């Protein structure tokens, strides 16, 4: 994959910026990196808190062969982020589908979105990594969920953001251009979903279950508290304390 980096001081959302670029004909490999986002996008329409100077916020234009598979792209990105963090001594794990956790706190979110640019299928992959805690902490509702690699900006090694971005992109390209089976292996070995109590969230409500683990097709097997076994191809789960 030939990479081109477009650096912005501020944008509404790197995913939106990458989408606009894709619709205008940008080739695969364009990566938009911003110092901050005023309207960062998370899964299920949520916002992604993106203050200046505390995170890595980037989105990559992809033009996959055939129909884009957001789940596979997301899982390749999750494995790529974990490998880059492991290289620096961190011990991340993946909460299905797209959250990277360290010490039970979310330090990275990932969002893959398919689109049609008027001529062909494309996809945009967004990755946000919290490098340090924001000044004053996270907003209400995020304090018990979100975390960061470092407690303060002063602890973040010089040049980490650029080096981390480079490693993530390199790791992702190797998985994206490789076999899906390798992506599944790299993802599953970092999964936090083996025999964990969870709450499964669906459009119709939620229910408690135990996750049995991630399958080779990147679906999640669970057994409800009532004993029913289910295979989830998509959706959201939250981990419950035992």
CATH 3.30.930.10 fits 4-188, yes or no: yes
CATH 2.30.30.100 in the chain: give the residue spans: 196-239
pTM strictly above 0.85: yes
Contact 194, 221 (CB under 8 A): no
**Cα–Cα distance measured from residue 98 to residue 113, given in angstroms and rounded to the nearest whole number:** 13
- Which H or E run includes 6? strand 4-11
CATH 3.40.50.10280 fits 196-239, yes or no: no
Per-residue pLDDT of 79-91, as tens digits, reads 999 999 999 999 9
Q: Helices marked H in 31-69 — which ranges?
A: none
Per-residue pLDDT of 227-241, as tens digits, reads 999 999 988 899 986
| DSSP, residue by residue, 192-240 | S-TTEEEEEEETTEEEEEEEEEE-TTS-EEEEETTS-EEEESS-EEEE-
Q: How confident is the model at residue 162 (pLDDT cuts 50, 70, 90)?
A: very high
Q: How confident is the model at residue 115 (pLDDT cuts 50, 70, 90)?
A: confident
Mean pLDDT taken over the chain? 90
> In this structure, is the dihedral angle defined by the CA atoms of residues 18, 232, 108 and 186, taken in order, positive or negative?
negative
């Amino acid at each position: 994959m030939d990479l081109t980096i477009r650096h912005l001081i501020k944008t509404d959302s790197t995913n939106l910026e990458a989408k606009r670029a894709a619709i205008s004909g940008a080739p695969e490999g364009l990566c938009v990196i911003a110092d901050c986002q005023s309207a960062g996008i998370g899964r299920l329409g949520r916002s992604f808190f993106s203050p200046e100077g505390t995170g890595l916020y980037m989105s990559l234009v992809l033009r996959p062969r055939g129909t884009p598979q957001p789940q596979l792209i997301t899982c390749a990105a999750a494995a790529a982020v974990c490998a880059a963090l492991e290289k620096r001594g961190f011990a991340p794990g993946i909460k299905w589908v797209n959250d990277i956790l360290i010490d039970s706190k979310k330090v990275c979110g990932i969002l893959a979105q398919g689109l049609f640019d008027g001529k062909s299928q494309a996809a945009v992959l967004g990755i946000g990594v919290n490098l340090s805690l924001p000044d004053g902490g996270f907003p209400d509702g995020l304090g018990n969920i979100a975390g960061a690699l470092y407690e303060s900006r002063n602890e973040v090694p010089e040049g980490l953001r650029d080096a981390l971005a480079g490693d993530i992109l390199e790791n992702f390209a190797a998985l994206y251009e490789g076999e899906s089976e390798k992506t599944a292996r790299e993802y599953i070995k970092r999964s936090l979903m083996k025999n964990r109590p969870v709450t499964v969230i669906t459009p119709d409500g939620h229910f408690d279950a135990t996750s049995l683990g991630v399958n080779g097709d990147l679906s999640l097997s669970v057994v409800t508290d009532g004993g029913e076994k289910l295979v989830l191809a998509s959706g959201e789960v939250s981990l419950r304390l035992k």
